[in-house]
Structure 1
Amino acid sequence: MDRYEGFREFVGSRSAALSRVAYLLTGDFHLAQDLLQSALAKTAAHWGRIRDGNPDAYVRRVLYHEHASGWRRRRVSETLAAEPPAHLGSDPTPDATLRLTVLRALARLPPRQRAVIVLRFYEDLTEVQIAEVLDVTAGTVKRAKHDALKRLRTDAPELLDEPGQATPDSESRQVVT
């Protein structure tokens, strides 16, 4: 059996979603592509061991750790353009202004808080799953989420102004019946 069996199919089916996660973590298209490339290279090296488990979770974990290693190594300030790069393809969000607002708000968060918000509200992981991906305790995840949401409410109140729009903290206000 080939040790890379199924890897090409995995990359083909999951690279678009993983690329979006990398973009949300980095805030830059080119850095996101580099990050995803590194993560997939590390995944390929261990593919024989992880292909029968949960390769999606493995790649997300590698994405975060590679990203964290990158910002630990170099302290480069990030700047966001007023418009998203044209080469990102079609905008899946009907309201481009909202998308830009979310990206700017995410860019202002510290890396760990940004990762928690992306993994929780974009990847829809539970706090326990996020703790596993980030290699921290669930309490650390809860605190980072709390601090990030507080900062988003302060720094980007325009995200709360839209009636009918889901906000990152709306899950805590929902009543289960």
Structure 2
Amino acid sequence: MAQIDDLMTRADGACELCRGTEDLAPFALTPPEGYADSAAVLTCGECRGRLEARDLGTPDHWRALERTMWTPVPPVQVVAWRILSGLQRLDWAADLKSQLWLDEETQAWAELRAPAPVVEPTHRDSNGAALADGDTVTLIKDLNVKGSSKTAKRGTAVRGITLVPDNGEQIEGRVNGERIVILTQFVKKQV
């Protein structure tokens, strides 16, 4: 119980990664040999679940690291570095990682194991089928095109879609010659 009390005090009663306050508990790290302090980070249930599953999920959740990565606490720096390494294909995450300065010892600790897996948002159609760049999908309902008086009709085939990289719920495609963003819940993949 002493560890959780110490972590709660250090973290001011909030997740050290996203500042959430729900279901707080330690996320333990394997410390480098000779590390004397606690090698744990106080995390909310959502952050802890993602870290334990090694599935970073929706990248936007980790944008909170923009504020929390500046901590002087080495275990938090290590976790932030590993998360940003897993997201570095996204411009904002690569930018944050380039700003995160770690001393030599902390950097070596962060690199002790492979970084968290690279997040590829799972783009799935209304039936749960995985979508990929270049697929053809069919609209399953009439959709009003924002900023236009046009309607994309149900049954319209959208060829050569592009996945929106940091949002697993959106794709882009051409409908009636106009490039639009479409929610994946309104499409069905053509086989």
Select the structure that is richer in helix: 1
With the shorter chain as reference, the TM-score category is: under 0.3
Select the structure that is richer in strand: 2
State the structure with bigger RCO (CA 8 A, min sep 6), 1 or 2: 1
Normalization by structure 2: what TM-score?
Answer: 0.26
